[in-house]
DNA sequence: AAGATTGTTGCTTA
DNA sequence: TTAAGCAACAATCT
């Protein structure tokens, strides 16, 4: 589930908890969560470092482990990258109280559990659990060059100054595929996934199967405005989670009740109240839309 | 029991 | 070169 709003929520929560903390021990229970590096090397690389800053690009979290010393930046920089993919969770625990980031599937009972593949210990005794049921997620360490290379792969970040209606129009102009897949293409726009693509297109009244380069300027503007509106609101509501997720602070953090179409197939469209939400497949992904409102 | 599930990568084809 | 369209990755739930 984690898309931009969820990962941003995790970033903000964790920033409050672990900035400045020193990593004293790291347990790796599943080596395949760390591609391209042995578990030992991974651990050696980060034990003794402390968390200076947490950034995010798209759905990727970037933990800055070194001070940005301007004179030695190139050699001194070290970043821990973590991606949640489909089912990853990052849960911070401090004396029995836990702040869960991520989603609730499966439900977090005890920690560590069988899905706790990497466990970071901090000097003050607190811990950060990287859980992932399906183990699609990963952790890796890069230097400045490595990070720059990765950042280049990402498209425009919604809510950032570069995300303008003109830039969005440029992206759509040469794409001959459906608009939903363009919205979800991380190399073009960073952070939108299956849930928010459906929600944005419903809000913009655009059918997900529309070919991107056939959209009018007015339609592109609607998609642009809907993107800003939905993503902002989802972050405000601390992202979308299913069923019974509650974070360690007891807050619901739930955009789910505000979803208009996602997972609401069969229900009446909340706008026209006339037609049932349809579910189809677009580029391998379940896609929800209103056949009356969305043209 | 088959088909679904939040994301990405890498292969094939055009 | 680049874009589009799939299958695959793994573990669950319906």
Give the pLDDT means over successive 10-residue stretches in chain A (295 positions).
Answer: 89 94 97 94 96 97 80 73 92 75 51 92 95 93 95 96 98 97 98 96 98 98 98 92 44 76 95 96 96 97
User: Residues 24-53 of A near strand B (Cβ < 7 Å)?
Assistant: none
Q: Are strands A138-142 and A97-101 parallel, antiparallel or unpaired?
A: unpaired
Residue A292: strand, helix, or coil: coil
- Is the previous residue joined to A106 through a cis bond, with omega within 30 degrees of 0? yes
The protein residue nearest B8 (Cα–C1') is A85
Interatomic distance A135 CA / B7 C1' (Å): 12
Q: Which token pair is A38? A: 């042995």
**Confidence at residue A149, expressed as pLDDT on a 0 to 100 scale:** 95
Using alpha carbons only, what angle is made at residue A175 by residues A6 and A187, rounded to the nearest 5 degrees? Answer: 40
What is the sign, positive or negative, of the torsion defined by CA atoms of A223, A256, A251, A121?
Answer: negative
Q: In strand B, which positions have an atom below 7 A from any protein CB?
A: 4-9
Residues 119-138 of A with CB under 7 A from strand C: 133-136
CA of A157 to C1' of B13 (A): 31
Distance CA A204, CA A194 (A): 16
A218-CA/B1-C1' distance, Å = 47
What gap in Å lies between CA A184 and CA A100, rounded to an integer? 26
State the burial class of residue A143 (Cβ atoms within 10 Å of its Cβ: 0-12, 13-18, 19+).
Answer: middle
pLDDT of res. A246: 37
**Nucleic strand C within 7 A of Cβ A263:** no
Distance of alpha carbon A295 from alpha carbon A293, whole angstroms: 6
Peptide bond before A190: cis, by omega within 30 degrees of 0? Answer: no
For nucleotide C4, the protein residue with its alpha carbon nearest to C1' is A177
Interatomic CA distance for residues A240 and A100, integer angstroms: 13
What amino acid positions of A are annotated as catalytic residues? 2-3, 59, 285
Task: Check residue A269 and give its pLDDT.
Answer: 97
State which nucleotides on strand C lie below 7 Å from a protein beta carbon.
Answer: 3-13
Tokens of A148: 């720059």
Distance A134 CA to C4 C1' (A): 27
pLDDT at residue A293 in the model:
96
Q: What are the helix (H) ranges across chain A?
A: 4-18, 39-46, 73-76, 144-152, 165-173, 179-184, 194-204, 217-236
- Asked whether strand C has any atom less than 7 Å from the CB of A175, the reply is yes
Angle (nearest 5°) at CA A155 between A63 and A185: 105
From the Cβ of A200, is strand B under 7 Å away?
no
Count of CB atoms situated within 10 Å of the CB of A38: 11
Q: Is the CB of A95 under 7 A from strand C?
A: no
Report how many helices (DSSP H) and strands (DSSP E) chain A contains, helices first. 8, 11
Q: Could you give the CA distance from residue A106 to residue A89 in angstroms, rounded to a whole number? A: 10
Q: Which residues contact A241 (CB under 8 A, 6 or more apart)?
A: A1, A6, A103, A104, A253, A254, A255, A256
A58 Cβ contacts chain B strand, under 7 Å: yes
Give the nucleotide with minimal C1' distance to the Cα of A284.
C6
């Amino acid at each position: 589930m984690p898309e931009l709003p969820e990962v941003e929520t995790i970033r903000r929560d964790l920033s409050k908890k672990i900035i400045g903390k020193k990593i004293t021990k790291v347990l790796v229970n599943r080596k395949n969560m760390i591609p391209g590096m042995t578990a030992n090397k991974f651990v050696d690389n980060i034990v003794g470092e402390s968390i200076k800053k947490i950034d995010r690009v798209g759905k990727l979290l970037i933990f800055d482990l070194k001070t940005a010393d301007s004179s030695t930046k190139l050699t001194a920089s070290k970043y821990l990258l973590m991606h949640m993919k489909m089912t990853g969770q990052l849960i911070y625990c401090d004396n029995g109280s836990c702040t869960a980031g991520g989603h609730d599937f499966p439900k977090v009972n005890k920690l560590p559990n069988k899905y706790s593949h990497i466990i970071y210990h901090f000097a003050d005794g607190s811990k950060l659990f990287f859980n992932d049921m399906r183990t699609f997620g990963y952790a890796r360490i890069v230097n400045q060059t490595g990070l720059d290379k990765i950042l280049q792969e990402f498209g425009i970040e919604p809510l950032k100054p570069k995300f303008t209606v003109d830039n969005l129009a440029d992206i759509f102009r040469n794409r001959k595929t459906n608009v939903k897949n363009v919205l979800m293409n991380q190399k073009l726009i960073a952070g939108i996934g299956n849930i928010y693509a459906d929600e944005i297109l419903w809000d913009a009244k655009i059918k997900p199967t529309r070919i991107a380069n056939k959209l009018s300027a007015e339609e592109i503007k609607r998609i642009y405005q809907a993107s800003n509106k939905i993503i902002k609101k989802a972050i405000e509501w601390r992202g979308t989670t299913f069923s019974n997720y509650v974070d360690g602070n007891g807050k619901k953090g739930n955009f789910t009740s505000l979803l208009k179409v996602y997972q609401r197939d069969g229900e009446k469209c909340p706008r026209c109240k006339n037609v049932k939400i349809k579910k189809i497949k677009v580029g391998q992904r379940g896609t929800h839309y209103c056949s009356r409102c969305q043209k």
